[in-house]
Each structure stands twice: as C-alpha cells, then as structure tokens.
Amino acid sequence: MFSSTGRLTDLICGNAAANAVWSPRATVQAMLDVEAALARASALHGVIPASAVDAIVAACNAGNIDADALMTGAAAGGNLAIPLVKQLTAVVKASDAEAAKYVHWGATSQDIIDTGVVLQLRAALDLLDADLRALSDALVAQAQAHKQTPMIGRTWLQQALPITLGLKFAQWLDAVTRHRARLEELKARALVLQFGGAAGTLASLRDKGSLVAQALADDLKLTLPALPWHTQRDRIAESASFLGMLTGTLGKIARDVSLMMQTELGEVAEPAAAGKGGSSTMPHKRNPVGCAAVLTAATRAPNLVATIFAGMVQEHERALGGWQAEWEALPDLARLTAGALSNILAIVPDMEVNADRLARNLNVTNGLVLGEAVMLALGDAIGRLEAHKLVEGASKASVANGTSLFDALAANETVTRHLSHDQLKQLLDPANYVGQAQAFVDAAIAHSKKQER
C-alpha cells in the first residue's frame, strides 16, 4: 500500500535507517500506535468497554490503510488524522461493529499527529545518539593518534601559526561532546505525550481525563507533561534547534576536511572506496563526496529550522498554518541531520592522513609563520617593538631574496648577538611552537570521557 521509494537523492543526503523512521508508512504506523494505546488506556479506566480493545488494536496496522485515499482525504480535511480515523473505524467495523463506536475516543486530531511525531522523533534521536557515540570514539582515537602531528593553522584561509592535527580533531570532538549533552537534555523535555482533546481540557473524558492521559503516556513510554501543548511549540522548536546546530557542526568538519583535501594541500583524504568520489569525465579526480553531502545538509538545515521557529507564533488553542508547517520541515531536517552524521562517521575513523604533505605545507613560507616565536624571544632582550620591527624586516628580505627566514635572521648581527644559530633553529621548528595544543587535546578527550559517565 505504501511505496518504499522516496526521492532519488534520499541516500545522498540521508541514510536508510533515518529515512525509514520518517517514511509515509512509519508516519501512519506511529499514529496508529497512538490510537491502539489510547484504546487500551481508555478501557483500563472504564471509558470504553474492554471488549472493544482487541478489535481496535488489531486494526491499527498501516497495512490496513489505503495510502492514496489517505492523501486525498488529508487534502480535504486539512490533516492526516481525520481520514486516518475514518479508515481505521471502517476496518474495525468490518470485524466488530460495536468496537468501532469507540475508535479515537476523547482525542483530537492533533493529539494523534503530535504524539505520533514524538514517537518518530524518539526513534530518530536514538539513531543520532548511537552515531554520536561512535563519532566521539573515532574522534578520540584520531586526536590521540595525531596529538603531536604538527600542521599549519589557518586564519582567514591564510597560513597563521603551527597547530597539531590532533588539536583539529579535538576541536571537533569537543563540539560533539556538547551536542551529546544537549541531546540528553532534549530527550527529557521533548519526548512527552500530547493529549488534550478538542481544546486542551480533556472535557470529553469527564473525570477520567488525567487517569487516561497517564495510562496513555505509560503505554507509549512517554513522559506526561503538566498540561497539553497544542500551540506551545517550544519542544518541537528545541528539537529543530538541536538538529540544526548538530548539522552545522558536521558541516564545519566537512568544510575543514574538504579544504584540506584540495589537490594543492593534499593533507587528508576521505577513505577510498570502490566507485566513490570519481568524476564522469576526469579519471584522476577523487572528489570529497561525503563532505559534499554533509555540506548540502548544512546548507539546507538553517531554513528548515527557521520554518519551524516561524511556526511557533500560533493562534489561541489551535494553529492555523504554523503547526502544519512542521509536518514536512521537521522530518526533512531530521533526515538531513542523520545523513550528515552518518557521512561524517564514514569519513573520520579511516581518514587518510598525509604526514609528508602536512610537513611540506608547514614550510611553504620558508619559516615566516614562526616569526612570532623569534620576535618574542628577541623581545626579552631588545623589547617587543624593536624585535617586531627587526623580524618584520627579515621577513621582507626573505620574501624578496627567496631565502628562508632562518637565513635572513642569521645574517643579522643584532639577532645573532642575542640568539645562537641553534636557538634560531629551535625557534623556527614548528613542533616547538604549538603552545597548549597537546594539553587541549588531553582536555577534550577527558571531557568526552566524562560524558560517558
């Protein structure tokens, strides 16, 4: 009844598991799971006859639903729940006419749709949680392995000062660690039941409203909120915010990797795989296709987050357009985030590192990037301003003459009066001017491991 295929690009920027969570069939099944749980909870407290439960629960299978009729009905009714309940009632009636009277008892369409989305969101967040743990482990391993591997740091896309490759991994790790903490906090606030009836008062259940709501939440293993939240969309907005921020961090990683993977740099590369990264016309190409997919997601995500945030301004007790705007924006955002995460997870553990190119790129400026180190050492003897002027002059001479900064400095009597050649070589060794890089790697790893506890 439901097509298993979506857009032809669904596996470029998504993954099979996340796509399945938000598939049309899964969406319908999530709503039917709520209807089945509602029947059980209502019968538990005598709101509907216990004899009606089995027929209703048995009918709550997406295979019983006509997808085309559901789509047509949703267009007329304004949401999926109205035609879904109509079809569900007909299925129940075919086996038990009496039980059919009690389908959807006491609920409103938004209760079923929102709680179904929460069930899907829980499944999606569980997938992200598992992949974030795996990514953390991979980043810890890479940060440790390259803790002392020097490379050039870049600001404004220009060479700046030496860092270590391990520090770059550690920076990514630290952001992922924060996202893992956010995810745990988000689950506590967002994975809650929506059950309020027509105007959020559960008036149709008389004195049994609170009892049925608690039983329904327990059945679905969701938290029961203090009150229904039909037009209070901060939980959904927070979920979108988390997904958008995580996708942005993954985009940052992809940007760094793709820049370092450029032919002229060649410092790292995505893991090689058959058929991955080739060009249709240029046999020599090895494109960063995983990074491209992540950056695509990172480009699309902010507008989806903005859509959900814009929809928070809702009317009275039921929204006119704002809630409805979430229906496609949130699933698309969740799929993109999951796809971006799986792509980064496919890159990081086996990323190829070219230590020779890292070293070569450190020396592209013939030592100019270490001028600060020499300036500070000289500044102890002749003052910072005078040292800055001297090193700046030596740097210009180095560029003009095509020589190294060492040669230019070693030819200056003021420099050699205070610094020996051996001291100059030490100062101009990139490995000796990475500051607290290694300590920062240790700190990021310790912070990540603390998150595990």
Q: What pLDDT is attached to residue 379?
A: 94
Q: In degrees rounded to 5, what are phi and psi of residue 223?
A: -75, 140
Per-residue pLDDT at 4 exceeds 60: no
Torsion of CA 304, 305, 310, 312, to 10 degrees: 120
Parallel, antiparallel, or unpaired: how do β-strands 158-164 and 150-155 relate?
Answer: antiparallel
Q: What pLDDT is attached to residue 12?
A: 84
User: Using CA atoms, how far apart are residues 316 and 299, in angstroms rounded to an integer?
Assistant: 34
**Domain ranges across the chain:** 16-144+166-359, 363-432
CA angle 91, 81, 226 (to 5 degrees): 120
Q: What pLDDT is attached to residue 161?
A: 96
User: Using CA atoms, how far apart are residues 8 and 22, in angstroms rounded to an integer?
Assistant: 16
pLDDT classification of 274: cutoffs 50, 70, 90: low
Mean model confidence pLDDT for the chain: 95
- CATH classification of 16-144+166-359, choosing from 1.20.200.10, 3.40.50.150, 2.40.100.10, 3.90.1150.10? 1.20.200.10
Per-residue pLDDT at 285 exceeds 80: no
Which among 154, 178, 300, 318 is annotated as catalytic?
A: 318
Per-residue pLDDT at 280 exceeds 80: no
Give the tens place of pLDDT for each residue, 196-229.
Answer: 999 999 999 999 999 999 999 999 999 999 999 9
CB atoms within 10 A of CB 206: 9
Q: How many CA atoms lie within 13 A of 353 on its CB side?
A: 18
User: Using CA atoms, how far apart are residues 369 and 54, in angstroms rounded to an integer?
Assistant: 75
Give the tens place of pLDDT for each residue, 136-183.
Answer: 999 999 999 999 999 999 999 999 999 999 999 999 999 999 999 999
Q: What pLDDT is attached to residue 142?
A: 98
122-126, 272-276, 310-314, 346-350: least confidently modelled range: 272-276
Share of the chain above pLDDT 70, in %: 96
User: Using CA atoms, how far apart are residues 348 and 151, in angstroms rounded to an integer?
Assistant: 18
Q: What pLDDT is attached to residue 273?
A: 72
Give the tens place of pLDDT for each residue, 405-446.
Answer: 999 999 999 999 999 999 999 999 999 999 999 999 999 999
Whether 318 is catalytic is: yes
Looking at the DSSP bridge assignments, the partners of residue 37 are none
User: Using CA atoms, how far apart are residues 144 and 38, in angstroms rounded to an integer?
Assistant: 51
pLDDT classification of 58: cutoffs 50, 70, 90: very high
Q: What is the mean pLDDT of residues 108-132?
A: 98
Q: What pLDDT is attached to residue 13?
A: 85
Whether 279 is catalytic is: yes
CA angle 379, 406, 267 (to 5 degrees): 105
Fold of 363-432: Ribonucleotide Reductase Protein R1; domain 1 (1.10.40)
Structure tokens at 403: 């020589």
Give the tens place of pLDDT for each residue, 324-342.
Answer: 999 999 999 999 999 999 9
- The answer to whether the CB of 162 falls within 8 A of the CB of 153 is yes
Could you tell me which residues come within 8 angstroms of residue 393 by beta carbon, excluding any fewer than 6 positions away? none
User: Using CA atoms, how far apart are residues 246 and 49, in angstroms rounded to an integer?
Assistant: 47
Q: What is the mean pLDDT of residues 66-78?
A: 96
DSSP code of residue 368: G
User: Using CA atoms, how far apart are residues 74 and 61, in angstroms rounded to an integer?
Assistant: 18
Which among 51, 95, 210, 279 is annotated as catalytic?
A: 279
What is the SS3 assignment for 70-105?
HHHHHHHHCCCHHHHHHHHHHHHHHHCCCHHHHCCC
